[in-house]
C-alpha cells in the first residue's frame, strides 16, 4: 500500500455505520503495520503533519492519526493495543511495527513528531540497550 493509498483512509467522516469503526481502525492499523518498519511509520506521520505527546495514550501520533479516520471516536493507543469508544467499543491488537513505533516514540525517538510543548522540554530519557533490543525483536518479527 502506498502512502497515498494509506492517506485516503484518513478522510474525515469515513465511518458511516457504527460497526464501521472497528473495521476502519483495523484497516488503519494494518496499513501502518504494512509500512514494515517503525521509521517508515514515523515518516508517514511526519509527512502528514501529525504530531503527538510521548507516553500519552490519547495524544500519541498513532491515536491522532486513527482519530482522523473516525473523528467521533475516542482512541487510546498503548504499546500492545488500541482501544476505541464511540458508537461501539472495542480493543484491537497493534501490529508489531506499530508496537515498535510506539515503543521507540515513547522512549524519545522521532522528535520531529513531538508536539510543540514536548519539543521545548525535550526527551527526558534515552532508550536503554534493552529497549533497543526489544525494538529490534519486534521489527524482526514483522518482516
Domain ranges of the chain: 3-142
Mean pLDDT of 39-44: 97
Please, where are the H alpha helices in the chain?
3-8, 20-33, 38-47, 61-69, 96-106, 116-121, 129-142
Mean pLDDT of 38-61: 95
- pTM recorded for the entire structure: 0.73
Mean pLDDT of 90-99: 96
Q: What percent of the chain has pLDDT over 70?
A: 67
CA distance 68 to 12: 6
CA distance 79 to 70: 20
pLDDT of residue 119: 58
User: Predicted confidence band at 80 (pLDDT cuts at 50, 70, 90)?
Assistant: very high
Average pLDDT value for the chain: 80
pLDDT of residue 41: 98
C-alpha cell at 69: 479516520
Mean pLDDT of 16-27: 80
Task: Give exposure, 69-84, as e/b (b: 16+ Cβ within 10 Å).
Answer: bbeebebbbbeebbbb
Q: Would you say residue 6 has pLDDT above 80?
A: no
On whether the CB atoms of residues 108 and 54 are closer than 8 A, the answer is yes
Amino acid at each position: 500500500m502506498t502512502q497515498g493509498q494509506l492517506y485516503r483512509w484518513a478522510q474525515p467522516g469515513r465511518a458511516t455505520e457504527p460497526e464501521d469503526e472497528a473495521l476502519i481502525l483495523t484497516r488503519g492499523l494494518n496499513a501502518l503495520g504494512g509500512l514494515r518498519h517503525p521509521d517508515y511509520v514515523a515518516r508517514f506521520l511526519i509527512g502528514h503533519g501529525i504530531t503527538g505527546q510521548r507516553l500519552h495514550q490519547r495524544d500519541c501520533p498513532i491515536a491522532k492519526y486513527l482519530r482522523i479516520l473516525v473523528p467521533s471516536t475516542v482512541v487510546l493507543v498503548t504499546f500492545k493495543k488500541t482501544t476505541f469508544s464511540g458508537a461501539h467499543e472495542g480493543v484491537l491488537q497493534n501490529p508489531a511495527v506499530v508496537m515498535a513505533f510506539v515503543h521507540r516514540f515513547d522512549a524519545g525517538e522521532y522528535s520531529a513528531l513531538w508536539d510543540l510543548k514536548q519539543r521545548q522540554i525535550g526527551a527526558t530519557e534515552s532508550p536503554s540497550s534493552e529497549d533497543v533490543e526489544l525494538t529490534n525483536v519486534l521489527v524482526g518479527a514483522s518482516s
